[in-house]
Amino acid sequence: MTALLGNEQLTWYIARASGITAWFLSAAAVLWGLFLSTGVLRGRPRRPWLLDLHRFIGGLTVVFTLVHMAALIGDNFVHFDLVDILIPMASEWKPSAVAWGVVAFWLLLAVEITSLLRRAVVPERVWRAVHASSFLLFGFATVHLLQAGTDADNPLLFWPIATVSFLVLFLSWWRILVGRSNPNGTSPTPRRDTPGLTRRSELSSVG
Ligand code: HEM
């Protein structure tokens, strides 16, 4: 207990706890984004509520990622400086495992900043392209957690990670299958080339 409260140990615990929290938050942000883009929840809860929560979770992901990075710099167990955590492969401690996290952080920042400046400054096409990199950032963060995380092989953490990752993969597959939902409605707009999803009106217009 004394060791846990010692300053050296405390920053290391904060770094680990905030890193794990940031990963779960990024997964939640991606899941909520997919709820929005697929319309899989069919309007319950309503889209504005989902969007507000999605934005809140996205912001919280950035906050916890910054806490994670600050705690790593403040920690003396492994020595990190600003360059180590901002430049991929600069870290002497597990350089490639850390690099996945560094790249995920930059992508997260790009997604968040373009979203905050959406409409006012960032055109819709650019916002959408940058936002699509959320899938990549989630993948990179997952590799980072599994390779660099001290606790990743603890079953109490591993199984929740595996379950949440499966959910993200499943909904991403669903997103590819049905395309994007109509932003004004609630149900997914079927892609013309998706077998079995062609609307009757489209069939009659062909004939
Ligand atoms: C201020 C912050 C954010 C805003 C305003 C925002 C806004 C949105 C909106 C409006 C959608 C629905 C797009 C559609 O219906 O096609 C969406 C989808 C999505 N968002 Fe965000 N978002 C934010 C932050 C984030 C963050 C931080 C992440 C990831 C960590 C993220 C990941 C996603 C994903 C994966 C989708 C689904 C994209 C798709 O299927 O094409 N978003 N977001």
What is the tens place of the pLDDT at every residue in 120-133?
A: 899 999 999 999 99
Cα(85) to ligand 1 centroid in Å equals 25
Instruction: Classify 102 as helix, strand or coil.
Output: helix
Instruction: Quick: pLDDT tens for 53-71.
Output: 999 999 999 999 999 999 9
- More confident: 191 or 93: 93
Percent of the chain at pLDDT exceeding 70: 84
Task: Give the pLDDT of residue 193.
Answer: 37
CB neighbours (10 Å) of residue 12? 20
* C-alpha distance from residue 72 to each of 18, 24, 82, 101, 154 (Å): 10, 19, 10, 13, 21
- Reported as type and span, the H/E element at residue 127 is helix 124-148
So what's the pLDDT on residue 192? 39
Counting ligand 1 atoms within 8 A of each CB, the residue from 32, 115, 167 with the most, and so the one to mutate, is 115
> Quick one: DSSP state of residue 76?
S
What is the Å distance from ligand 1's center to 163 Cα? Answer: 21
Regarding pTM above 0.95, the answer is: no
Q: Residue 138 corresponds to which tokens in the numbers above?
A: 């989630």
Atom of ligand 1 nearest to the CA of 26: 30
pLDDT at 10 over 80: yes
Q: Where are the domains of the chain?
A: 2-206
CA distance 144 to 97: 5
Question: Given this model, what pLDDT does residue 8 score?
Answer: 64
What pLDDT, in 10s, does the model give residues 36-59?
999 999 888 999 999 999 999 999
For 186, the token pair is 């609630």
- Does the beta carbon of 37 sit less than 6 angstroms from any atom of ligand 1? yes
Q: Tokens 């930059």 — which residue?
A: 106
Q: Give the nearest ligand 1 atom to 34 CA.
A: 37
Rg (CA), the chain: 20
pLDDT of 190 over the 50 cut: no
Q: Which of 176, 179, 170, 175 is closest to 199 using CA atoms? A: 179
- How much is the pLDDT for 182? 59
